[in-house]
A and B are shown apart, each in its own frame.
Chain A
Amino acid sequence: KQEVTQIPAALSVPEGENLVLNCSFTDSAIYNLQWFRQDPGKGLTSLLLIQSSQREQTSGRLNASLDKSSGRSTLYIAASQPGDSATYLCAVEETSGSRLTFGEGTQLTVNP
């Protein structure tokens, strides 16, 4: 059974800092890996999707990498802003069109 773990569970940083969120998964036979953002009381918003054949994806200040063989992904946030404060969730899809298995998330607070 696939298990997804995110470290750290919570992170508090000053504005402007670059930071890295970590995600690991137990079964490397995945189809893709997705990073989501969840604001309090809201649904999930997709940030980046990395196919199993890719090594990284970038969107603005966000960069996600994938090392499938070691079962790891990182989400890099450059020049963090208070508006980045949210919970970040990592999820893996094992085959096309199948379920997403989520990690428990990293709660990020960026202090002005």
Chain B
Amino acid sequence: DAGVIQSPRHEVTEMGQEVTLRCKPISGHDYLFWYRQTMMRGLELLIYFNNNVPIDDSGMPEDRFSAKMPNASFSTLKIQPSEPRDSAVYFCASRRSSGEETQYFGPGTRLLVL
């Protein structure tokens, strides 16, 4: 398996623009997580899905952030409009619901909002 795939790997945009981050989880994994990592706040969970259904979005900072999982093999995290304080590394992770319960992380998307 190729592991968790994220795109783009790097994104530079200007304040006010829409940003869309993409994630393909490992096949057979039915949990998908979106995390954000910054120097100030460390790693924080934004939202997670189980069987494509959002379970906990309490970590989503505000209405500018939205996430979807239209099918088992694809998820998006959208920021509209983006702000400089959204600059961070965004990670997607997936895991099985039973058996091996380790979360597998993607390589991350490094976002810079100017």
Chain B positions within 8 Å of A89 at CB level: 43
Which among A32, A34, A99 is the interface contact of B56 at CB below 8 angstroms?
A99
Q: When each residue 72-95 of chain A gets 1 if its CB lies under 8 Å from chain B and 0 otherwise, what string results?
A: 000000000000000001010100
Chain B positions within 8 Å of A32 at CB level: 101
Known contacts A44-B91, A97-B31, A97-B50: A102-B105 contact under CB 8 Å: no
| Contact assessment for B33 and A44 in the assembled complex, using a CB-CB cutoff below 8 Å | no
In whole angstroms, how far apart are the Cα atoms of A93 and B56 in the complex? 14
Chain B positions within 8 Å of A45 at CB level: 105
Nearest Cβ on chain B to A84's Cβ, whole angstroms? 19
| Contact assessment for B102 and A42 in the assembled complex, using a CB-CB cutoff below 8 Å | no
SS class, residues of chain A in contact with chain B: strand
B25 touches A (CB below 8 Å): no
| Contact assessment for B105 and A100 in the assembled complex, using a CB-CB cutoff below 8 Å | no
A104 touches B (CB below 8 Å): yes
In whole angstroms, how far apart are the Cα atoms of A53 and B102 in the complex? 16
A43 touches B (CB below 8 Å): yes
> Which of A43, A46, A91, A102 has the most CB atoms of chain B within a 10 A radius of its CB?
A43
Chain B positions within 8 Å of A97 at CB level: 31, 50, 55, 95, 97
Known contacts A43-B107, A44-B91: A34-B102 contact under CB 8 Å: yes
| Contact assessment for B45 and A100 in the assembled complex, using a CB-CB cutoff below 8 Å | yes
- Nearest first, the 9 closest Cβ-Cβ pairs linking A and B are A43-B105, A102-B43, A44-B105, A99-B45, A46-B102, A43-B107, A104-B42, A43-B108, A49-B102
Binding site for A on B (CB under 8 A): 4, 31, 33, 42-45, 48, 50, 55-56, 59, 91, 93, 95, 97, 101-108, 110
